Structure 1
Amino acid sequence: MVALELNDLLAKAGLDPARTLVMRHRPTEPALRRTLPWLAQDRPDVYNAYQSQHGERVEVALRRATHLASFIGNQARTALFVGVYAVAGHRVLTEQQFWKIPQNNDLRALGTRGPANGRDSLWFDLRLAESLAALKGRLVIEWSGIERSWWRWAGRNVLPVRAIHEESQLVPPMPDWQSLVLDWPALQALPARWRQALSHWRGIYYIHDRNTGRGYVGSACGAENLLGRWTAYAASGHGGNRQLRGLDPAGFAFSILQRTSPDLAADEVIALESSWKERLHTRKPHGLNDN
């Protein structure tokens, strides 16, 4: 039985492997590496912004390509398919113009550094094609050869198909609430299916500041429950809490101490919150709670 290869799929879709550049994105920035699959699933405009600007060597190659086959390196020596993009052109951007693109500021919050050395760079017009769209998040290929070689021409390489899953692998199921720990950058890129779960959960949450070792206990029983509170932290870093102002939210870790009944009275939720503050000693000066 002949093994199926990426080039077989490209050719069947009417794409020329000789003019298709394949990229396996694996950001060096930790927060961006963790959340890039989420962006590919729920924020395709931000994901596409990530791959629309490159260094000089890649610029030269991408100018010669008709299509880009985009993958994410979420596991060793394999690549998870996101989509095929037509290379419709490019334009020169200054660093100032680069940061005026809204999606690039979303990426900056996740750690991206932008154009190297502040140089003018090319911004590619990459347009998502219908080709192989049904395989998004499902197709896994073997990234043969040198793993750190993250881009290559399809026609010059053999990239065997490892698997075609029934469901998308871009966003894993929501972890059990007792094992859920999210850092601040992750709050800004939460997948839609995780956001939905958090909007139904109310209870007591904990913020650990890794930089100082201190903690903050809060409660969520208002609009959108935990999602509502954590969205406020994602936007401002401090969520309106005085003791959190001035701290670096990049060092915050968010977890859930206790889930409560969705119809538990607000005063009972506040009483539980107070109990957790006592047990974890999070009131100032030892912790980050004012009261």
Structure 2
Amino acid sequence: MAPPTTPPPPTNGLKASILDDPGLFGRQWAATYDRPGNPDPEPAADFLAGLAGGGPALELAIGSGRVALPLASRGVAVEGIEAAPEMVALLRDKPGGEAIPVVVGDMADVPVPGPYPLVYLVFNTLFNLTGAGRQEDCFRNAARVLAPGGAFVIEAFVPDPAVFDREEQQVQVWSVTEESASIRLHRYDRETQTFVRQTITFRDGGVELKPFGMHYRWPEQIDELAAAAGLTLEARWENWRRDPFGPESRDHISVYRRP
């Protein structure tokens, strides 16, 4: 069951000087980001193309272009915002990547003028904004650059406290090779709806830490962010194929409209 109100700002458990850096994830994981096992982008591209109209569409945290490139292949003009130049370099190395305009900056600031008929943010990345008020900033600024009647699309998981309990009580073996071994640990703060994940890699001669944090929200709480920014929930689906969203859904695709 979703909490009835928005949680207090995440002041415990998340170290602002590290985890609030918008480029942290990209710098740490660009070298291995385009690995097998990432979600198939084709259903997302089909869904988004139906909302983009004549374009252009704006992707927040465009990353290596996993969704942007197949969306562009459907004839939609796509632009992006990405905080990590390392991720932009991955995009540029792919066919069609040089043609997509990308602003290097914080997605919460949405540092572009617009207007756009479609702005979208996929793969739980809204929750990467851990600083107090930054998710609110993201919604407000996305609404600012939307054209009248434009859509802001969010893909996110539905929090499951049972999963949190399992993750927090075990050490996850991430990888083991002849040269290194990596483990992953989680710590959850239920009151502030935040978690810190630490991926620790042991190598001959040193230890590498890759911290990561999230400020997760239930769908109803995301609706509150949208409403405060002047956006209205138009539809919510379980996945990009438009399967109905229900009590057992573990993910959601939410479409918000600017009046």
Is the shorter-chain TM-score for this pair beyond 0.5, marking a shared fold?
no
The structure with the largest helix share of the pair is 1
Q: TM-score, normalised by structure 1?
A: 0.23
Q: TM-score, normalised by structure 2?
A: 0.25
The structure with the largest strand share of the pair is 2
Query: Rg bigger for which structure?
Result: 1
